[in-house]
Structure 1
Amino acid sequence: MRCKEKRKDGVYQILDWLEKERSDSVHLFWTCVFKDHILQKYPVLRLFRNNLIDGSFRVYENLPAPVDQTERENKPVQIKKSTAKEKKRERKRKKRHEEMEEDKQPGPSCPSIPKKKKPAKKLMFFSESTAEMKRSGEEVQDEQKKEGEEEGREEEEDNTGPVHPSVFQAPSLPVSCGSVNGVLYKCRFASGSRSKSIRTEERWFTPEEFVKQELTLIDGHWKKDIQCHGKTLNYLLEKQILVEHCQWCSCSHCSTMEQDLLHETNDDECFICNMGGYLLCCDECPRAFHHQCHVPAVQDDSLG
């Protein structure tokens, strides 16, 4: 089935068998072919079906009337005779074809001259809607070409092979963009490109800001240039490893208020005990501390 010619010959063999052996079941055959899920995948068949329905398709109108199952069972001998006749005709046609091929062969003293092969004729179902079928076929080819190009781009962006899903289950993930490294926190990845979700040694960055730290990238894009375990952030979004909040989300990570944006520049956990709670934020670095964890301990009256 990988060979296009063999696939086409196989289809014609099925249609020939249907016409010769089960001509009373042609209607049932096309009923099965014209299922919705098949028509959605092959628009040319949908066009063919519509022409059958509106009456613009005319061919093989001399098919016999449908025969019910009981009548078919009562005439087994007649069907076998008809089958034998068809096979006899088929053998005669094949023999004539072989004789004609032998006549065309050059003699022993005749130099063989290679002949150009004529292009195979394309079979058309009907002539009235040929242009429409051609357009439909071209549309299908264009869609397949676009799908192939998109798959190629995905493979270029994501050519590291399969990665076990367990490596993405941690609340924080190591990310890199060229020579720049950081840690992406899932809980902070709320507003996507605008959320300060990537932590480096110096500060918190949004994905857009993090890409700009790699100076060798002229036109970097955070979805394809930031990678985690060899996979792009675009891959993580498609697999829903990273989830962006809805536009009307009112959580602190999605808030645009000045106070909430200021808190995003510092850690959500104490630098000493790695626990949350009421934290004091440093103005010079992204760290945060509990009052008692800071050395020396900080009192409210000594802030600043």
Structure 2
Amino acid sequence: MSPALTVEPLDFEAPINYFSPQKEKLRHETLKPKQFGKTDDDSRVAIVHDLRGKEDQFTLADNGFIFTELKTSGKDEDFFNEEWVKSVYYKEVGEVVKKVTGCDLAIVYQHVNRSAAQSLDESNPANMGDPAKNGPATKPHCDFSGEHLDAYPKLMGASLPKPIKDMWESSSRWAMYGAWKPRVTITRDPLIVADSQSLRDEDYLPVEREVGPEGHKFILGNYLIAQPSEENAHKWYYLHRQRPDEIVIFGGTDTKQDKKGWRCAHTAAVNPHYVNDPPRESIEVRCVAIWK
């Protein structure tokens, strides 16, 4: 990452809205909603470590995330222009993903802008397109799971050019990643990521949901995160005063699961030093990385 003005490191403590350990798979439609900044019986306080100055000590493969540089050609107002985001920003993120993963092709396919202090009815897909209705993540989770991977090429392949669809289906490996960055330098409610080395397999609670029209249903999955077995067993990190040219890439799922970084738990956290600052403004995209 490029040199910047010195920023003093700032660790902090924050409640994490965990879930109780479960033996059975959870269903998306039966989950009890959580609210950002509001705790419940399953919440636990954790230390969130500032990794500024230590970014090169973490890797995508081993730890599940990497903070790196993205110098976008756009201005803040461009991120509200759907055409610009899809035609320009998607390509910029795709190039970063190719650089940090070594994949042959990166397909960025979805984005969400956030600028609210709280999300309004996350169950309503219509709200996802309105930054003013999208706030910080309410609970620690992974966007995908390690199951039902065969559904993604089938579900998404229909909208891809045939050569790309064929490449995906015949690939030696593919993975899903998230890529998050602020649109302005942020202090309040940062995105935090967990070092995948600090989570056990049983800490990932699988959730299933059905998507698609009748007769063409697919089962997809993601993970919620259970309370750690010991206090502060999960190691959480963020980048203090993360700038618009600093992006975090984090693991979603992967057909290659020999290292723990193929998935990365993440959420937002209330930084008690900045509760009165303006709500954070950010953009997140999802990406498929394909190896021939």
Normalising to structure 1: TM-score of the pair? 0.18
- Structure ranking higher on relative contact order (CA contacts 8 Å, 6+ apart): 2
Q: Higher strand fraction: Structure 1 or Structure 2?
A: 2
Normalising to structure 2: TM-score of the pair? 0.19
Q: Higher helix fraction: Structure 1 or Structure 2?
A: 1
Larger radius of gyration: 1
